[in-house]
């Protein structure tokens, strides 16, 4: 028999929330109805029209802050490869739930909601839980950043991020610094290039410098070194004109303690004054000491479930980039049922058993946090 958590995950997949444009409203309101029926106080916080964040609370105690969970409702586009299953069908077959968002991260979002609803009758008079269901995560944690800007400090004592980890507890993740490097030139006829200034040549020189960019920072003992990738180079309008503009897409993954302002200065110095640097996304790294009491509890619960935890971190970034500092740098674990290697892939899936396992882990964490 299919569990409610798996059914809920399938229901969420059936909402097309590909971002852009997002359109998370109907999906989020579906979750709101489930939570309100279980006694949660719910608030919608719009990112844009039709694109709400959902904040849901239950319980509360003056002696201890609630435990927070977060998941997002938007997904990435389907890609160019044909799918062999309906991408928004929520198909359950061969012990797996299939569809866009099955791994990243509608299964995780469904699991935190199902776990919270199952525990709801026991949470009166306890620290309780708060759920942050966000919109716009896939394009730079936009929904979570809005919640943090609105004010979260002191609203929770710890955070569980249900992003895909195959239910392995991760102590943190790298940050992201995304930028466009723009070069400008002077257009001219392609037969008379000496009459113009070629922006693509400037971009080529800049890319060569980026290939050899050195980070002046020590490796993290778990995350390793920061990384830089040039994701795109765009320039010119047609083959028979000298291009007067080119753009380079830069994706840098950063470490705890790495100052993004200083990083921008170092990049600008490396690229030179001929290159304009425009920052498009900044998401700081997150790290919790494995010896933190909350992290020890998480490891203990995972061990009870037969998962022998080790100290690991994610290479991707999550809504914790905004929520963790927004909450006051609370201890944070990334732990969700999806397999990370299938995030954003064609024919995305999540094991049904992992969804149910995640629900059990979350319920045990709530019980420990709330003294049940």
Q: What is the mean pLDDT of residues 235-259?
A: 97
Q: Are residues 233 and 355 in the same domain?
A: no
Closest CA to 168 of 348, 305, 293: 305
Distance CA 75, CA 20 (A): 9
Which residue range is the domain that position 254 belongs to?
175-283
Q: What is the mean pLDDT of residues 195-208?
A: 97
Q: Are residues 202 and 168 in the same domain?
A: no
Distance CA 55, CA 131 (A): 6
Q: Are residues 98 and 197 in the same domain?
A: no
Q: Which of 20-34, 170-184, 308-322 has the lowest mean pLDDT?
A: 308-322
Query: What number of helices (H) and strands (E) belong to the chain?
Result: 9, 15
Q: Which residues have a Cβ under 8 Å from the Cβ of 171 and sit 6 or more positions away?
A: 222, 287, 288, 289, 290, 295, 311, 312, 313, 333
Q: Which residues have a Cβ under 8 Å from the Cβ of 238 and sit 6 or more positions away?
A: none
Question: Tokens standing for 77?
Answer: 């586009």
Which 3 state secondary structure label does DSSP give 296? helix
Q: Are residues 161 and 142 in the same domain?
A: yes
Categorize the per-residue pLDDT at 252 as very low, low, confident or very high, splitting at 50, 70 and 90. very high
**Mean pLDDT taken over the chain:** 97
Q: Which pLDDT score, from 0 to 100, does residue 309 have?
A: 81
Q: Are residues 47 and 168 in the same domain?
A: yes
Please name the helix (run of DSSP H) or strand (run of DSSP E) that holds residue 361, with its range, or none.
helix 352-370
Q: Are residues 301 and 269 in the same domain?
A: no
Residues 172-193: tens digit of each pLDDT: 999 999 999 999 999 999 999 9
Q: What percent of the chain has pLDDT over 70?
A: 100
Q: Which pLDDT score, from 0 to 100, does residue 356 have?
A: 98
Residues 89-114: tens digit of each pLDDT: 999 999 999 999 999 999 999 999 99
Q: CATH number for the domain including 204? A: 3.30.70.360
Handedness of CA 325, 144, 248, 199 (dihedral sign): negative
How many structural domains are present in the chain?
2
Q: Are residues 60 and 163 in the same domain?
A: yes
Distance CA 145, CA 321 (A): 8
Q: Are residues 255 and 303 in the same domain?
A: no
């Amino acid at each position: 028999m299919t569990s409610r958590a798996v059914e809920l995950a399938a229901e969420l997949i059936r909402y097309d929330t590909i971002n852009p444009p997002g359109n998370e409203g109907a999906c989020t309101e579906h979750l709101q109805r489930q939570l309100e029926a279980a006694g949660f106080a719910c608030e919608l916080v719009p990112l844009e029209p039709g694109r709400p964040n959902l904040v849901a609370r239950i319980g509360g105690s003056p002696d201890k802050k609630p435990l927070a969970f977060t998941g997002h409702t938007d997904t990435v586009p389907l890609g160019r490869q044909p799918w062999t299953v309906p991408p928004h069908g929520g198909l359950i077959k061969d012990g797996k739930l299939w569809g866009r968002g099955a791994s990243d991260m509608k299964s995780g979002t469904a699991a935190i909601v199902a776990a919270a609803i199952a525990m709801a009758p026991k949470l009166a008079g306890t620290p309780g839980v708060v759920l942050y269901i966000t919109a716009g995560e896939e394009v730079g944690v936009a929904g979570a950043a809005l919640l943090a800007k609105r004010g979260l400090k002191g609203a929770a004592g710890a955070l569980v991020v249900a992003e895909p980890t195959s239910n392995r507890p991760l102590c943190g993740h790298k940050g992201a610094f995304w930028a466009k490097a723009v070069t400008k030139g002077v257009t001219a006829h392609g037969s008379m290039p000496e009459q113009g200034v070629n922006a693509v040549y400037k971009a080529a020189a800049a890319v060569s410098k980026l290939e050899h960019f050195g980070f002046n920072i020590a490796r993290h003992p778990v995350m390793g070194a920061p990384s830089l990738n040039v994701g795109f180079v765009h320039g010119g309008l047609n083959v028979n004109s000298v291009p007067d503009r080119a753009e380079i897409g830069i994706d840098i993954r950063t470490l705890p303690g790495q100052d993004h302002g200083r990083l921008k200065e170092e990049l600008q110095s490396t690229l030179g004054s001929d290159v304009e640097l425009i920052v498009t996304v900044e998401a700081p790294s997150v790290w919790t000491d494995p010896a933190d009491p909350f992290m020890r509890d998480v490891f203990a619960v995972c061990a009870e479930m037969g998962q022998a935890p080790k100290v690991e971190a994610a290479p991707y970034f999550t809504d914790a980039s905004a929520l963790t500092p927004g909450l006051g740098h609370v201890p944070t674990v990334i732990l969700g049922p999806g397999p990370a290697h299938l995030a954003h892939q064609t024919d995305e899936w999540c094991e049904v058993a992992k969804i149910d396992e995640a629900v059990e882990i979350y319920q045990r964490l709530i019980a420990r946090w709330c003294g049940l």
